[in-house]
Structure 1
Amino acid sequence: MNSSDGGTDVGHDRPRSGPRATYPTEQSSTSRRRWFVGLSVLVVVAGVALAWLGYTKFASPDVSGEATAYQILDDSTVSVQFTVTRADPQTPVSCVVRGRSRDGDETGRREILIPAGDQTQTGVRTEVATSKPPVIGEVFGCTTHVPAYLTASTP
């Protein structure tokens, strides 16, 4: 046989031309098994990572704040009433409350300390000074990580 009909040249294991050169040789079962195991491990790791991400992102938080009412007091002040819900009422929390103007800009912000208490839900009312006339007051967020500068004596 010669190389034009798919034969091999002397000293070469693979043909250089012809049908046997065009189609690859069949893979061994060991090679296929390695690919299967490798891809299976990759899928399992990706699934665990996705489950962990979903849990940390959507699990119920330790604390949450929800605005229940707001009142525009004047062109530079909005009063915001909100409810804080916490898993452990003995933990102090801080919440950021803000006022927004007609164009959607945040025009005022205030951090509030909610001290430890006896109830999981606490109602709070505060006023936020704004740099533009406010149209809404809202709770931006709450956390159990109370900053050191926020103490019970902060008004």
Structure 2
Amino acid sequence: MKLLLIEDEIELAKSIQGYLNEHDFVCEWASNYASAINKISSYDYDCVLLDLTLPDGDGFDILTELKKQNKTEGVIIISAKETLESRIEGFHLGADDYLTKPFHLSELLVRIQALIRRKQFNGNTKIIYNANQGLNHSKKQA
């Protein structure tokens, strides 16, 4: 799975990127608004991890740009902004989840996995392959 991390705090970004790479994700990193827009315009991702406060722009504008480009990436906002208004605005602009800093990397991992599962496999936790009929999704698990 391919992720884009948009985060200007270098140490935090390195920590997140290293952790996700250890868990079999390909995690690219953009440290500012301009490079994030360039990557979003050039590549497709399974999930975007988005900080709202960037040195040269606003994360909400990135959400708007994703929508404008008809991108289908799942978006998890990771932000120190913990106001109800910022969370609501993020969801209105198309974010799928919102995680307030500081957070545990293990929680971020399971949120990413859940988001990708919902987007790609309709919430199923098992995939069954039948050689005669191709790929079939199992029924949703409780």
More strand as a share of residues: 1
Q: Which structure: larger Rg?
A: 1
Of structures 1 and 2, the one with the larger relative CO (CA 8 A, separation 6+) is: 1
* Band of TM-score, shorter chain: under 0.3
User: TM-score scaled by structure 1?
Assistant: 0.20
User: TM-score scaled by structure 2?
Assistant: 0.21
